[in-house]
Amino acid sequence: MFKKIITTSLMVASLVFAQQSAFVNETVDKNVVETNAVSNSTVSDDNQFAVAIHPLSLVIMTAIGLPTLYITFEAGVMQHASLITRPLIMGGEFESGNEKISILGFGLTEGFRYYLGSRGHRGFYIEGQLQFEYLSLDYKDSGERDYYGRVESASASAMLIAPNVVFGYKVMGERAMFGVDVGIGYNIVSASGRDSASDDIEEVSSTGFGPAFNLYFGFAF
C-alpha cells in the first residue's frame, strides 16, 4: 500500500509539474501612440501591466478533480522586456469507500521575457524561467487499523525545481491579448513518503529534460 501511495504521488506530481511546464506563460503589451503634433509614431511600452490565465491547465486539472488557479502577472520594465510572476495553487479530495486521498499543491515561477523586433510588448519573444512547485498527498483508510488500533494512513510529498526556456508569439488588441509558446525545461523532481505502520521514509527522485507548451489569454492595463 505504501509503495502505491508514493507511486501515486509521483504520478500526480508528474502530471501537475508537466502541465505547469506545459501551460506556463503570459503577457504584456503597450500601445502605439500617434500624435498630430509629432510626425513620427512613438511606441510607449514602459511600465505596462498585464494579467492572463491558462485555460488548458484550468480545464484539464479541474476535470480530473483538482481545481487549479494558475495566473500570470507581467510587468514591463523596458520597451521590449518584462518580468513574469506566476503563482499556482491547486487541491482536491478523492474518496472511495473507506479510503480518502487529499492533495494540495502550490508553486511560483519567476521569469524574464524579451520581445524581438520593434513592436514593443507583442510579437515573437524569448523567455527564461525558474520554476518551483510543491505537492503533498495524504491517504487514510478508516476501514483498516494497525496493531495499535490507529487508522491506516500514509503521506507523501514531491518538489520540483526547473529552469525553462520558451519561445512564443503574442497577439495584442487594444487591451485583450492571446499567445502561445513552446520550449524545453530541465526538471528536477524529488519525492518522499511515510506510512503509519513504520517510521521509515522512502525517497525517490527523477531528473530529465521535457517539452513545454502554453496557451494563454488575458488583458493589459
Q: Provide, rounded to the nearest whole percent, the portion of the chain with pLDDT above 90.
A: 43
Residue-wise pLDDT tens digits, 155-208: 999 999 999 999 999 998 888 999 899 999 999 999 998 876 666 778 889 999
> What ranges do the domains of the chain cover?
2-29+42-220
Grid cell in block for residue 44: 510607449
CATH class of the structural domain 2-29+42-220: mainly beta
Q: Are 203 and 191 in contact (CB under 8 A)?
A: yes
- Considering all CA atoms of the chain, what is the largest pairwise distance in Å, rounded to the nearest integer? 86
Can you give the pLDDT at residue 120? 81
Collapsed DSSP state (helix, strand, coil) of residue 150: coil
Phi, psi of 12 (to 5 degrees): -65, -40
Residue 149 pLDDT class (50, 70, 90 cuts):
low
Of 25-39, 48-62, 81-95, 181-195, least confident by mean pLDDT is 25-39
Tell me which residue has cell 526556456.
165
Q: How large is the angle between the packed helices 55-63 and 2-22, nearest 10 degrees?
A: 160
pTM score: 0.74
Q: What does the pLDDT average to over 12-22?
A: 49
